[in-house]
Chain A
Amino acid sequence: ELKVEQNPLFLSMQEGKNYTIYCNYSTTSDRLYWYRQDPGKSLESLFVLLSNGAVKQEGRLMASLDTKARLSTLHITAAVHDLSATYFCAVDMARGATNKLIFGTGTLLAVQP
């Protein structure tokens, strides 16, 4: 059974600091997704990582994928309050990009001024 684990589950950080969220998954997957969710809202797509070694950056967020280690990271640089949200990683249930996703438990990020 495919499992996706994130850590930490909760992250409180100060503005201006850097931190990394980790996402481990248990079986081979072609691609990995990162989503953001604000309280009471839907999911916003952040990144789609398609291959081993893929790195994508948008603003203060950078995501990377190591398919051999079955690990993805979401790195936050110089955090600002607007980044406060829950972040989910997700992988496809099967190879071939089925769009049937298994989500991690989420990381609740709180950026303190």
Chain B
Amino acid sequence: ETGVTQSPTHLIKTRGQQVTLRCSSQSGHNTVSWYQQALGQGPQFIFQYYREEENGRGNFPPRFSGLQFPNYSSELNVNALELDDSALYLCASSPDIRGRGETQYFGPGTRLLVL
């Protein structure tokens, strides 16, 4: 059973550019959540996808968007990058939309630097 994987591991972009980050959920997991973790902060919830539909969103602007595919892998897209978007982006997968006592499993993250 493979864990949660993310790509790329590191990325450097400039202001105004667009970026796509990818996440492959753990086998059998149909729910993926994305988090942004700025340096020295706790992760902040961006949004969640369940069976290819967005299922809840945190306090992030519309230029943060996502997709989930039939195999439950997911993408996070960020348009018009700003310096403050520099952070570690984490995805987490869980077996179901409800925790049912199980935790979600986090991927290794993508570290994005916006110059």
**A93 on the B face (CB < 8 A):** yes
Q: Chain B, interface size: which category?
A: 20 to 34
Interchain CB contact under 8 A, B42 and A106: yes
CA of A14 to CA of B58, assembled, Å: 39
Interchain CB contact under 8 A, B108 and A42: yes
Interchain CB contact under 8 A, B101 and A50: yes
Known: A50-B101, A93-B56, A99-B104. A88 touches B45 (CB 8 A): no
Q: Chain A, interface size: which category?
A: 20 to 34
CA of A106 to CA of B103, assembled, Å: 18
Interchain CB contact under 8 A, A104 and B98: no
Binding site for A on B (CB under 8 A): 31, 33, 35, 41-45, 48, 56, 58, 90, 92, 94, 97-109
- In the A-B complex, the 10 residue pairs with the smallest Cβ-Cβ separation, listed nearest first, are A103-B42, A97-B99, A43-B106, A45-B103, A97-B98, A42-B106, A42-B108, A99-B94, A48-B103, A103-B43
